[in-house]
């Protein structure tokens, strides 16, 4: 059904974006999250604009929305142009939550801060925190990226974090890698060994990446 809806309009058209958002609200099959929210986004999915980055990235359009979602496992066009993407990596392995800089970020569950670092290349994450969680399905590592520089001092490596505790805030374009302000949230099955994960992967690595970086809606719930 989703494919039928999405094929009605030409790619990149406003109507296509509207259908994607409407489809997302109607068709999400994931249960509501049993965890704390990672940001103060609205509960009603109609108030969360679901962006379509398959046809490109428009920072001004993103800023026109109070809250927005960037989808997991989305093949994005013309968005990752920095040299370290090698014109190959464009399939998104996290979920983006777009809003204003300075917005607070929270831990979705009890966990332990594993890594903190500033990935300060153009097009990268900027300040980043990774927290280790013991969940019912096993150990998971969660990356919180595109944070403010002040966030690097808000938690410490080895610190135990309570569910719902504020751990960071969203960074500006000057510090977050040059992006419109947002949170990149990503899960990993294995220890990344640093505050970094491949947020986008190449087609040749996609099958393995799906296993290594599961859908964040497993903890965020039916956010879209």
**Residues 172-201, mean pLDDT to the nearest whole number:** 96
Is residue 142 packed enough to be buried (19+ CB in 10 Å), middle (13-18) or exposed (0-12)?
buried
On the CB side of 67, CA atoms within 13 Å amount to 14
pLDDT-derived band of residue 111, with 50, 70 and 90 as boundaries? very high
What percentage of residues in the chain have a pLDDT greater than 70? 84
**Residues 1-9, mean pLDDT to the nearest whole number:** 32
User: What pLDDT, on the 0 to 100 scale, is given for residue 179?
Assistant: 92
The first and second tokens of residue 93, run together, are 């392995």
Q: Tell me the pLDDT of the chain averaged across its residues.
A: 87
> Does the model's pTM come out above 0.85?
yes
154 phi/psi in degrees, rounded to 5: -80, -25
**Residues 27-45, mean pLDDT to the nearest whole number:** 78
**Residues 42-51, mean pLDDT to the nearest whole number:** 88
What are the chain's domains? 2-220 (2.70.70.10)
**Residues 88-116, mean pLDDT to the nearest whole number:** 96
Q: Is residue 13 scored above 60 in pLDDT?
A: no
């Amino acid at each position: 059904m989703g494919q039928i809806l999405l094929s009605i309009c030409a790619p990149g058209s406003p109507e296509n974006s509207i259908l994607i958002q409407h489809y997302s609200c109607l068709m999400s099959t994931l249960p509501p999250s049993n965890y704390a929210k990672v940001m103060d986004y609205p509960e009603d999915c109609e108030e969360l604009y679901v962006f379509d980055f398959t046809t490109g990235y428009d920072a001004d359009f993103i800023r026109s929305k109070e809250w927005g979602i960037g989808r997991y496992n989305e093949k994005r066009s013309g968005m990752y142009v920095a040299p370290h993407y090698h014109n190959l990596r464009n399939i998104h392995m996290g979920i983006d939550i777009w809003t204003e800089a300075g917005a607070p970020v929270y831990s979705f569950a009890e966990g332990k801060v594993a890594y903190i670092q500033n990935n300060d290349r153009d097009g990268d994450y900027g300040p980043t925190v990774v927290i280790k969680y013991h969940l019912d399905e096993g150990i998971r590592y969660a990356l919180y990226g595109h944070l403010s520089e002040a966030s690097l001092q808000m938690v410490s490596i080895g610190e135990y974090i309570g569910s719902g505790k504020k751990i960071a805030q969203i960074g500006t374009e000057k510090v977050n890698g040059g992006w419109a302000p947002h949170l990149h949230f990503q899960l990993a099955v294995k220890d990344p060994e640093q505050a970094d994960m491949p947020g986008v992967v190449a087609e040749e690595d996609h099958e393995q990446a799906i296993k290594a970086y599961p859908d964040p809606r497993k903890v965020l719930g039916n956010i879209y």
